[in-house]
Structure 1
Amino acid sequence: MNGIRFSGLASGMDTDSIVKQLMQVERLPLDRFKQEKKILEWQRDDYRTLNKEMEQFRTYLFDKMLKKNTFVPKNVESSNSTIVSATANSNAPDMTSSIQVTKLATSSRWASEGAVKTDWREGINFVDGKATFAFKTTNANGVESETINITINETDTVDDVLNKINNSSLGITAMKGNFLRDDDTMQETIVFTNKSSGSGNYEIAVQDANTNTFMSNLGFQTDASNYLTGFQDGEDAELTINGMYTKQKSNTFTISGVTYTLKDVGNVTISTKTDVDLAIENIKEFVDKYNDLLDKVNGKLNETKYRDYRPLTDEQKEAMSDREIELWEERAKSGHLRRDPILSSGFSSIRTALYTKVQPGDKGINSDFDILSEIGITTTKNYLDGGKLEIDETKLRKALETEPNAVYELFAKTTDSDLSSKSSKDLTSAERQEKFNESGLVVRMRDILYDTINRIEEKAGNQYSELENYTIGKNIDDINDSIDDFERRLQQIESRYWSQFTAMEKAIQKANEQSGWLMQQFSSM
């Protein structure tokens, strides 16, 4: 504020205090603006907190509750896991297999035939300290690769070179050491081992003279067609399963949903059985997570709103203790999502979806297990629980023991359209409802959560949203503008008050001077 302020020098009034009190009254609308802004921020943060919870639950549904292994997990036991270990997917039958392993699969390899040169760089053409060597491979089926380039620095050691070969797409593992040769002598040798095992010719061909020199310096030879020599073919694994002989290229292979890993020769028994206990635990986890989310949502929907507890102003906080502020704000923050229509609608739809039968559609469904109650999952009888689920474990166990695949379909049955995908927006309302009715319960939940999360983001945004991109943000932006305008107005009002009091002080000062002059004149008469 420009000009000199006369703060009660003539009048004896506490002008500062008077102006401050006057401005407190003038600031009341500004305080209300700031309180409204704070309420919107609290509401936005409540929305975002719940949205994060819903997104985490939706991710959990996708990662676990849409997987068949969750409902039909397999337990595999080996009588001797040092010979054969195994895992099974949900499609594996419950069975016991006797296995006799007579030979393990081995990989083809190449061994350097000569000594590794002391200076592997000899005769190699380096450009700016680098050289690039070109190879091609041909697999056991005769398929030739594209050119594979490996770039080496002139300062590299042999170990550096082998490391770069290992990390290339050449498909081999390279190592160097003293190995026993055919003449019964120990000699430093570089060995290339095919990363894939099994019989069949796997060839490596050099593509130019510089690469040929490089390989020669490492002790390898090439034939007239530029293929590396010193090759030894790999062998297939050989075994019998329940009396049936088979050969496998790898020591790890899958038959009828069971993945076997051969480790040694010998006899072993592998047993595969559906793990009903684990399936029950998985479904219990789902129910617990759903109930926990429901608790949080219902907590906000039913939270008491204390209308007399507005956000505190800075001046109010100055007059209160930290504990008083904490208790006040606890109530002031309460109830901003009470009976919120987006959350109420979303979770009402989820409850309806969970209690509605899954329609057969084109893919069909077991009519004995087309609704949640048929596998022992129902809502609690206490209406105060707000739709929480509870499990009759005896009924659930019986369903999983008799028809585990039907239980899986009840939760995870899909249609030709993913209801949460962009392509589903091309469906008509009737088509979408039909697909929804034919979808499993978890698919329905994901669809509703997807819609609810998006609606909340439209209203409350997310941590990366600009104010102008969501409804509450636009309201906050408008209030920010109002605050800026009102603060400018307050400055003008305060300046006016000071101008008025200054004028008053000047007038009183002048009157005092005139009174003093008159008194002086009277006293001199």
Structure 2
Amino acid sequence: MPIRITGMNSGLDTESIITALTQTKQDRLDTAKGDQKKLTWKQDKWKELNKKVVSFYNGALSTMRFSSAYTKKTTTVSNSNAATVITGESAMDATQSLEITKLAKSAYLTGQEVTVGGSKATKETKVEDLGLSAGDEIKFTIGGDSDDVLAVSIEEGDTIDSVLSKLKNAKSSETNTSLNFNYDENNGRFFVSSKSAGAAASFAIDESDSETMSKLGLAVKADGSNYIAGSSAEIVLNGETYTSDSNTFEINGLTITANEVTDGPITLTTKQDTSGIYDNIKKMLSEYNDLMKEFATLYNADKASSYKMLTDDQKEAMSDSEVEEWENKIKSGLLSGDDTIATVRNAMRDIMSSGIDVKLKDGTVKSLSLSSFGISTGSYFSTEENERDALHIDGDPDDSSTSGNTDLLKSMISTDPDAVMNFFSDLSKSLYGKLSDLMRGTEYSSSFTIYEDKLMASQYSAYNTKISDAQSALEAAQDKLYQKFSTMETALSKINSSSGSLSSFFGTGS
């Protein structure tokens, strides 16, 4: 923009005059900028709301469509110290007898003390000092198979440390199995263990070169006290024996972990987990309530029509807190009375109030609704406006408004869990399907979006053009007026110059 110097000859405040004369065009520019900013805030509001809708759609609502959400079972153990149980979906309601007769163990060898000249050998001790020679071999058999051998050869110049390294890296040629090795200098002993528990991972000393094993302290004592053989776990469930290389058994939907040998049988009781099903339903309803409250809060908000978008000049005249408060008034009412919110809100409310035909355990078919399970909204007149769509469960200990009522939902889960599953899965499918329709991509909106995000993006781009045009129009009008005032100033300058010359011509000499 060129430097504009005006009013030097006329004495007029041309800056203020031109600002006043072009105020209409300035207002158009400020309005376009303000409307674009307001659109940005509205987009942000929609993005936040849409994220919550999609989260509900993909989360709790999606889960509740499937039978797995209603087949929660739990198993109690009469001796919880002896065993723990994870109950799968396929587990059967039953009382079973369990006896734990053996626990899985890892094979373990505590080496005998290795000495040189009466002192404990260190990792730097050479194998020659232990009476070993190149070609001697250290051998272990794996898993009780005499052909599955882990072998390490002694080489000239080896130390205990280099032998230890070879043992750690050694693997059987048959099964690629290795063992854990360590040498404790403080005690002058090798320690050996299998990588995992069970008989299949156990090891034994190869006696074919017993002298080599003895010199390294790796031989088993005559009484066997320094060696524990690996063993598998064993349980007896309902009279049948099962074994496992770990202490965990997977049998007919139950994952049983044995913790200690029992003195006789203990009892496992598997039954429907009513609290688990109840919690899933409660979670879904809670998220539905949160979403409906959000819809109501945005829809019922004050439009704040008296709060216009602030211009830069207006912001400069206000404090930061005043600007923030003003703008928050506008933001809170951006979706007030919005038709899209009304459509989604009403559709969800209609689904949740509908009846569904359900087959009961006595074989009859009955139309049930949420109220059949003691689930309903609060009193219209005593409930805060934005909470009127919220659903309450009778007997819910976390809901002060209904905690004292009879808990029909828990009772129904206990007496007819299939009816509960059929009703809530069908209800969830209906609501899921409706939201799918409402979030289907169109010419104006993307997939999984309840608002016209594409249209709003197009509107934002249109504002860029509108702002550019308004800016150009303002600058053109200002330039035209500045040019006129500049012409006037030039004319006045000439007049003043001519007047000066005439005064000089008619002036008196000395």
Q: Which residue of 2 aligns with 1:512?
A: 496
Q: Which residue of 2 aligns with 1:403?
A: 416
Per the normalisation by structure 1, the TM-score is 0.67
Is the alpha carbon distance of 1:278 and 1:6 closer, same or farther for their aligned partners in structure 2, counting shifts above 3 Å?
closer
2:328 paired residue among 327, 330, 335:
330
Once the two structures are TM-superposed, the CA of residue 508 in structure 1 deviates from its matched residue by 1.1
Q: Which residue of 1 aligns with 2:314?
A: 316
Letter in 1 for 2:190: E
Once the two structures are TM-superposed, the CA of residue 160 in structure 1 deviates from its matched residue by 11
Aligned residue for 1:266, secondary structure, equals coil
Is the alpha carbon distance of 1:357 and 1:36 closer, same or farther for their aligned partners in structure 2, counting shifts above 3 Å?
same
Q: Which residue of 2 aligns with 1:27?
A: 26
Once the two structures are TM-superposed, the CA of residue 441 in structure 1 deviates from its matched residue by 1.9
Once the two structures are TM-superposed, the CA of residue 61 in structure 1 deviates from its matched residue by 1.0
Q: Write the distance in 2 (CA, Å) between the matches of 1:495 and 1:300.
A: 45
1:342 paired residue among 323, 340, 343:
340
Aligned residue for 1:238, secondary structure, equals strand
Once the two structures are TM-superposed, the CA of residue 48 in structure 1 deviates from its matched residue by 0.6
Contact 2:181 2:190 in 1 (8 A): no
Once the two structures are TM-superposed, the CA of residue 308 in structure 1 deviates from its matched residue by 3.3
Aligned residue for 1:264, secondary structure, equals coil
Q: Which residue of 2 aligns with 1:448?
A: 434
Once the two structures are TM-superposed, the CA of residue 450 in structure 1 deviates from its matched residue by 4.1
1:259 paired residue among 247, 255, 258:
255
Structure 1 residue runs without a partner (length 5+): 120-137, 141-155, 180-184, 204-218, 220-231, 413-439
Q: Does 1:484 align with 2:468?
A: yes
Is the alpha carbon distance of 1:157 and 1:247 closer, same or farther for their aligned partners in structure 2, counting shifts above 3 Å?
closer
1:176 paired residue among 182, 190, 196:
182
Q: Which residue of 2 aligns with 1:16?
A: 15
Is the alpha carbon distance of 1:283 and 1:175 closer, same or farther for their aligned partners in structure 2, counting shifts above 3 Å?
farther
Aligned residue for 1:43, secondary structure, equals helix
Aligned residue for 1:309, secondary structure, equals coil
Per the normalisation by structure 2, the TM-score is 0.68
1:382 paired residue among 373, 380, 383:
380
Contact 1:51 1:456 in 2 (8 A): no
Contact 1:176 1:191 in 2 (8 A): no
- Which protein is bigger by CA-based radius of gyration? 2
Aligned residue for 1:333, secondary structure, equals helix
Q: Which residue of 2 aligns with 1:301?
A: 299
CA shift digits 1:211-249 (9 cap, x unpaired) = xxxxxxxx9xxxxxxxxxxxx996443222244443445
Once the two structures are TM-superposed, the CA of residue 50 in structure 1 deviates from its matched residue by 0.4
Letter in 1 for 2:254: V
Aligned residue for 2:98, secondary structure, equals strand
Q: Identity of aligned pairs, percent? A: 29
Is the alpha carbon distance of 1:100 and 1:161 closer, same or farther for their aligned partners in structure 2, counting shifts above 3 Å?
same
Once the two structures are TM-superposed, the CA of residue 44 in structure 1 deviates from its matched residue by 0.7
Aligned residue for 1:265, secondary structure, equals coil
Contact 2:376 2:393 in 1 (8 A): yes
Q: Which residue of 2 aligns with 1:45?
A: 44
Q: How much is the aligned-residue C-alpha RMSD, in angstroms?
A: 4.7
Q: Which residue of 2 aligns with 1:124?
A: none
Is the alpha carbon distance of 1:350 and 1:46 closer, same or farther for their aligned partners in structure 2, counting shifts above 3 Å?
same
Aligned residue for 1:337, secondary structure, equals coil
Contact 2:43 2:456 in 1 (8 A): yes
Contact 1:461 1:469 in 2 (8 A): no
Q: Write the distance in 2 (CA, Å) between the matches of 1:244 and 1:55.
A: 49
Aligned residue for 2:29, secondary structure, equals helix
Q: Which residue of 2 aligns with 1:36?
A: 35
Q: Write the distance in 2 (CA, Å) between the matches of 1:161 and 1:446.
A: 60
Q: After superposition, where does 1:416-455 map in structure 2 within 5 Å?
A: 440-453=426-439
1:291 paired residue among 289, 292, 306:
289
CA shift digits 1:332-360 (9 cap, x unpaired) = 22332233333322232222222334467
Q: Does 1:497 align with 2:495?
A: no
Contact 2:301 2:332 in 1 (8 A): yes
Once the two structures are TM-superposed, the CA of residue 300 in structure 1 deviates from its matched residue by 1.2
Q: Write the distance in 2 (CA, Å) between the matches of 1:368 and 1:172.
A: 65
Q: How many correspondences in the alignment?
A: 427
Q: Write the distance in 1 (CA, Å) between the matches of 2:238 and 2:245.
A: 19
Q: Write the distance in 1 (CA, Å) between the matches of 2:280 and 2:257.
A: 27
